Chains A and B, each alone.
Chain A
Amino acid sequence: MTVTIIALYLATVLSIGLFSHRLLKATGEDWFLATRSIGPFLLLMSLFGTHMTAFSLLGASAEAYRRGVGVFALMASSSAIVAPLVFWFVGVRLWSLGKRHGYTTQVQFFRERWQSPAVGYALFPLLVGLLVPYLLVGVLGGGVTLAQITEGAIPQWAGSLAIVAVVLGYVTLGGLRGTAWANAFQTCVFMLLGALTFGWIVSRVGGLEVAMQRVAAEAPQMLVRGEALSPLKMATYAFIPLSVGMFPHIFMHWLTARRASSFRLPMIAYPLCIAIVWVPSVLLGMIGKVEIPGLEGPAASSVLVQMIQLHAPGALAGLLAAGVFAAIMSSLDSQVLALGTMFTKDLLAKRVVDERKLVRTGRLCVIGILGVTYLLSLVVSSQIFKFGIWSFTGYAGLFPIVVAALFWRRSTAVGALAAIATVAVLWVVLIVDGWSVPGYTVGGTGVMPVAVIVAASSLAMVVGSLASRPPERSFVARFFADV
């Protein structure tokens, strides 16, 4: 039953890609950016689906199982306010500049903004390097989850292969339009199935009030933050969602908007969508604490899967697997397409004007990236999951660069290069320092590493810019007109 539901789901997603292929105009602009024609609803669904990974279903419940209700305040409500504000202050501006000057990638924009190929060369490996572990987490996580849900009937390698094959199909066929459509469908699926799973399990344990009264009686520490979280950690965690300002896949979706007003719905609905996805996940994690007490390590990470196996094996397990696949693929597809676009436009086909050749190169890049990711997923250790938060930390550390590019006329290429170098060095230093420390904060102070990196890269940007020659006013003016 579970396998049938998953197969049906994957076939549906693939058919969306096939259908979108019929509308493809075979131009670079259409394949890479859907001819900048995406309206408000599709934009919301693609941005939200791309940003929310399977972590918001499985990881949120696992974290709530370990730390209690504070997980929502820590991770969800910070994104609920910071992400839409980044869309407003950064996303709309980048959309406007992208439309006016014809940008497709971040590297194109930053290189031109500071008239410096060196900025592009420095930024490209960092943007790509931070995204690769993120891709691996999706491919490996999908395989592992499927193996758990089917109790080993589908091995991890097969689950990962299914994810890679389906994403490969609809991304190469439909380009960004196919990806946006599939994203919208999959985002609806994982939101609906998350709610269905929640409703079903809660009804099986006697209703929400009964379940939470039991949590209050048997595990009261789950209802408060207490020692599980420090106020300083909560404050500095709010830097993490700044990463949306530098994610290549989010940048790509911003550029696809048809009009500036297409951003309005995503900005308003984003906090509500976050609540819809995260509240059920957090509550299920808390209820799991009294339903299946004593889970540690990887077992605690799969608390949601275990709750489903306990209360609703069969059809619901299949639907949850589909929901997890939806969450994984709706991020993976955009990440792969963004990387394919960057390799094509920034590296392999910088000066190619033949539209068909551009699309062909883009497709080959997507195939290559997915192929390498799959092969790596077969050999990397599960330690790769630790990279998730570090990937976000690295992108957030680069956020001052986009802020300087958009808001500070005096900023220079030297400042940008200093900020990029600072992020790279500090990221490595802190990851080495914190790799084996669960819940690592800098020096055990409660300060998240991301706050230190953002502060240091901001300082490097300012000092580097002021220490170098100011840019020509007339050139800079083209990036500041009425946006």
Chain B
Amino acid sequence: MNRALVGLLLVALLVVRHDLWLWDDARLIVGLPITLVYHLGYCLVAAAVMAWLTSGGRLAALDAEADAER
């Protein structure tokens, strides 16, 4: 997994949490305030990013190492 790409993605994720463009937007979407819909989506994206981040070999390598030490 490219470390620079991971770093860039995580910084971008932390930046887009600040939805300044919706600060004073009072629209409702399917009964929910638009900013709440945005942050719900943000939680889904955060989960997807964590799924991608943890799909690399790091956890499996640590497990293999722990098994070898046993």
Contacts and interface: CB of A to CB of B under 8 A. Distances in A.
A224 B23 contact: yes
A208 B31 contact: yes
Contacts of A84: 46, 50
Interface in A73-98: 73, 76-78, 80-81, 84-85, 88, 92, 96
B47 to A, nearest CB: 5
Interface in B4-42: 10, 13-14, 17-20, 23-26, 28, 30-33, 35-36, 39-40, 42
A226 B35 CA distance: 12
Given A212-B28, A220-B26, A264 B39 contact: no
Contact of B50 (A213, A231, A268): A268
Given A77-B39, A100-B69, A275-B40, A270 B28 contact: no
Contacts, number: 129
A88 B59 CA distance: 10
Chain A interface size range: 35 or more
Contacts of A413: none
A81 B59 contact: no
Interface string A201-212: 000000111011
A99 B31 CA distance: 49
A263 interface: yes
A481 to B, nearest CB: 9
B44 A238 contact: no
A72 B17 contact: no
A225 interface: yes
A270 B50 contact: yes
A356 to B, nearest CB: 26
A274 interface: yes
A468 interface: no
Most A C-beta atoms less than 10 A away, residue of B13, B50, B65: B50
Interface in A219-270: 220, 223-226, 231, 234-235, 238, 259-261, 263-264, 267-270
A209 B36 CA distance: 14
A268 B54 contact: yes
A311 B31 CA distance: 21
A282 interface: yes
B14 A76 contact: no
A469 B61 CA distance: 34
Contacts of B58: 92, 260
A208 B43 contact: no
Interface in B40-70: 40, 42-44, 46-47, 50-51, 53-54, 58-63, 65-66, 69
Contacts of B53: 88, 267
A296 interface: no
Nearest to B61: A482
Interface string A448-483: 000000000000000000000000000000000011
Contacts of B23: 224-226, 231
Contact of A267 (B18, B31, B44, B50): B50
Nearest to B17: A77
Interface of B: 10, 13-14, 17-20, 23-26, 28, 30-33, 35-36, 39-40, 42-44, 46-47, 50-51, 53-54, 58-63, 65-66, 69
14 contacts: A72-B35, A77-B43, A81-B14, A84-B46, A85-B10, A96-B65, A209-B31, A213-B28, A223-B28, A224-B24, A231-B18, A274-B43, A275-B43, A279-B36
The 6 closest A-B pairs by CB, nearest first: A260-B62, A209-B31, A271-B46, A223-B26, A208-B31, A275-B43
Given A272-B43, A275-B40, 15 more contacts: A69-B35, A73-B17, A77-B39, A81-B17, A84-B50, A85-B50, A92-B62, A208-B31, A209-B28, A224-B24, A231-B23, A261-B60, A270-B50, A271-B44, A282-B36
